[in-house]
Every structure is written in C-alpha cells, then in structure tokens.
C-alpha cells in the first residue's frame, strides 16, 4: 500500500505500528528476536515497527504469535482494516470491475444529507447523464480495468442518482469553467450533458457553481473531492481513492470548497456560460 497523502491515514498506520511495538516490548523481545521467530529479515520487522511498511493480516498473526499475544489478533486486524480503508489503490478497488465500486458508495450517499462536490475536470457523477457516464467509465475501463462491466456500472451510477430526488437532501456542486468545454465523449454527448446540467441545476435542492477561469484568481484548481455532511471527505487521485475523516482535515477541505465557491458564478450567469458552451459545440 502506497503511503497516502493524508495525516489521518498516517496516524492510523502509526497507531498500529505503536501497538505492535508495545507487544514486542511487553514480550521482552528485541527486533532481531522477533524477526527470527517470524522468519523475517530484520529490516522487515523494523519497517513495520516504525510504520514505514504496513503489515499484512498474515504478518499481524505471525507477530502476535511470536509475542504470545494471540488474543490481540482480532483487534489489530480491525485496526489494519481501518487504516487500509482510508486509502485504496484503484487496482484493488476495481479488480472485479467498475460496477462494485459504484454500488459500494450507495450507503454513504443514502445516509448523507449535505453533499458538497468540487470537480476540476469532469461533471460530477451525480449530475451526469447516461451517455456522458458511459463515456467516462469506458475511458476508465480502457485505462486501468481488465473486466468490462461498463454497462452494469453505468446502470449502478444512474440508480444512485435517486438521492437527488429526495427533497430533504442538499447538493452543492462546483465545476471549473473548462469542464464545459473538455470531455472524453465527443461534441454530441457533451452537448447533451450540458443540457442536462441546465435541467438538474433548476432543482430547488441543487446549487451549481461554475468556477471562472481567470488569470487573477486567488485559488487555483485542486484535486476533485466530495464532502459528505461534515464527517467525511473522499478524494480521487491518480493512484487511488482517499477517505478522510479526521475533523481538522475535513475542515480544510470545507474551507477550500468555500474559497472556490467565492470564485464561482451561479444561476443565470452560470446558465449563460453553459448555453454559450452549447452554442460553441453547435
């Protein structure tokens, strides 16, 4: 597992490493003795103990047995799963195809009441139409997924959009102005997607802001992210999917969203930009 760019994930890994170090100390084992009992190199034990390399579930079991602390295996495995859940590489998440990763987010969407989404390059999934979604997911599948279940993944994403129709939920979407002109889908599909934006932004529980591309803007584009209520942020990076739950980090993303929102236009001004982009495609 690659070291993720999040202090939340780092802290979770360090907490696990600290527990393993305590077990070793309580058993009065040196790192060299622990390595010998586990059949590892001394460097492997050192990397795990210092949080530089995450242990596998098998590593945890071997460590606990070497320390005579088999009763700790279940708790430590749970800590490992928590740390791993904060950072998931795309290869692991999409090993079985794209449908499962689309379905996995539905429970989070259903329990969230306030959605905030910033996207620097693509229209967010919740306000995509079917054709645009198919083009995006097909591009993802060709680039990094061996299993071709794009049709099923598209249906799963479309089904997720039922949350938009729940009036008690609120949605704030920010997209960069360049998103209106760049796509993976061709002019005809992009035109349809822009028309869909005009429609969905008319909902009373939806706010759509377009962040203007200006040479004097005070906040440059950042990685795309979703904020769920005030408790969780998900970030899509080149190498994987990051989950942030540390309150101080969630607050940082909320602050960034607010700064970007101040640079955006809404309502008639946003609609004018969208219709202008549609006219350019025509």
Q: For 59-85, how does the pLDDT look when each residue is reduced to its tens digit (9 = 90+)?
A: 999 999 999 999 999 888 877 877 777
Give CA–CA dist 278/187, Å, rounded: 9
pLDDT > 70 fraction of the chain, expressed in percent and rounded: 96
pLDDT in tens, 82-140: 777 787 888 888 999 999 999 999 999 999 999 999 999 999 999 999 999 999 999 99
- Structural domains of the chain, count: 2
Split at pLDDT 50, 70, 90, the class of 27 is: very high
Looking at residues 245-274, what average pLDDT do you find? 94
pLDDT of residue 8: 65
Which residues make beta-bridge pairs with 234?
226, 243
Give CA–CA dist 73/253, Å, rounded: 35
The verdict on residue 228 lying in a domain is yes
H or E stretch covering 170: strand 170-176
Looking at residues 43-50, what average pLDDT do you find? 92
Q: Is the pLDDT of residue 203 over 90?
A: yes
Taking residue 146's Cβ as centre, other Cβ atoms within 10 Å add up to 10
pLDDT of residue 6: 57
Torsions phi, psi of 149, nearest 5? -125, 40
CATH number at 115 reads 3.30.870.10
The verdict on residue 2 lying in a domain is no
Q: Is the pLDDT of residue 2 over 50?
A: no
CATH number at 50 reads 1.10.260.40
The verdict on residue 106 lying in a domain is yes
Give CA–CA dist 81/60, Å, rounded: 12
Residue 153 and residue 204 in one domain = yes
Give CA–CA dist 81/71, Å, rounded: 17
Residue 67 and residue 107 in one domain = no
- Tally of helices (H runs) and strands (E runs) in the chain: 13, 8
pLDDT of residue 1: 39
Residue 264 and residue 142 in one domain = yes
Domain end among 87, 111, 143: 87
Cα-based distances in Å from 58 to 40, 61, 214, 272: 12, 5, 53, 58
The verdict on residue 1 lying in a domain is no
Per the structure, the complete domain to which residue 71 belongs is given by 7-87
Split at pLDDT 50, 70, 90, the class of 20 is: very high
Give CA–CA dist 72/148, Å, rounded: 41
Among the ranges given (45-54, 139-148, 216-225), the one the predictor scored with the smallest mean pLDDT: 45-54
Residue 199 and residue 269 in one domain = yes
Burial class (CB in 10 A: 0-12, 13-18, 19+), 8: buried
Residue 143 and residue 79 in one domain = no
Residue 142 and residue 237 in one domain = yes
Q: Is the pLDDT of residue 5 over 70?
A: no
SS3 227: strand
SS3 271: helix
Residue 107 and residue 247 in one domain = yes
> For residue 28, what are the contacts with CB-CB under 8 A and spacing of at least 6?
none
pLDDT of residue 132: 98
Residue 152 and residue 227 in one domain = yes
The angle subtended at Cα 167 by Cα 166 and Cα 172, nearest 5°, is 95
pLDDT in tens, 209-236: 999 999 999 999 999 999 999 999 999 9
- Full-prediction pTM beyond 0.85? no
Domain end among 70, 87, 104: 87
Q: Is the pLDDT of residue 165 over 50?
A: yes
Domain end among 66, 87, 108: 87
Residue 117 and residue 11 in one domain = no
Residue 144 and residue 37 in one domain = no
The verdict on residue 252 lying in a domain is yes
Looking at residues 190-201, what average pLDDT do you find? 97
The verdict on residue 69 lying in a domain is yes
Taking residue 281's Cβ as centre, other Cβ atoms within 10 Å add up to 15
Q: Are 143 and 94 in contact (CB under 8 A)?
A: no
């Amino acid at each position: 597992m690659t070291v993720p760019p999040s202090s939340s994930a780092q802290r979770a890994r360090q907490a696990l490493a600290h527990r393993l170090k305590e077990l070793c100390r309580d058993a009065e084992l040196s790192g060299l003795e622990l390595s010998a009992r586990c059949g590892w190199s001394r460097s492997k034990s050192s990397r795990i103990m210092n949080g530089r390399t995450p242990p596998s579930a098998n590593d945890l079991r071997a460590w606990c047995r070497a320390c005579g602390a088999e009763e700790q295996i279940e708790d430590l495995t749970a800590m490992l799963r928590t740390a791993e859940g904060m950072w998931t590489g795309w290869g692991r998440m999409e090993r079985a195809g794209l449908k499962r990763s689309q379905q996995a987010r539905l429970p989070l969407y259903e329990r969230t009441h306030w959605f905030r989404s910033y996207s620097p390059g693509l229209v967010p999934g919740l306000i995509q139409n079917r054709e645009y979604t198919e083009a995006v997911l097909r591009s993802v599948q060709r680039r990094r997924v061996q299993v071709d279940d794009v049709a099923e993944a598209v249906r799963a994403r479309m089904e997720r959009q039922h949350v938009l129709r729940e009036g008690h939920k609120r949605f704030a979407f920010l997209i960069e102005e360049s998103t209106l002109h760049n796509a993976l889908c061709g002019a005809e599909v992009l035109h349809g997607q822009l028309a869909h934006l005009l429609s969905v932004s008319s909902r009373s529980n939806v706010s759509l802001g377009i962040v203007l591309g200006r040479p004097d803007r005070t906040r440059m584009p950042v990685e795309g992210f979703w904020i769920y209520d005030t408790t969780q942020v998900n970030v899509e990076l080149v190498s994987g999917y990051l989950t942030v739950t540390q309150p101080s980090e969630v607050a940082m993303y909320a602050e960034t969203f607010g700064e970007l929102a101040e640079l955006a236009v809404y309502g008639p001004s946003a609609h004018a930009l969208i219709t202008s982009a549609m006219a350019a495609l025509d």
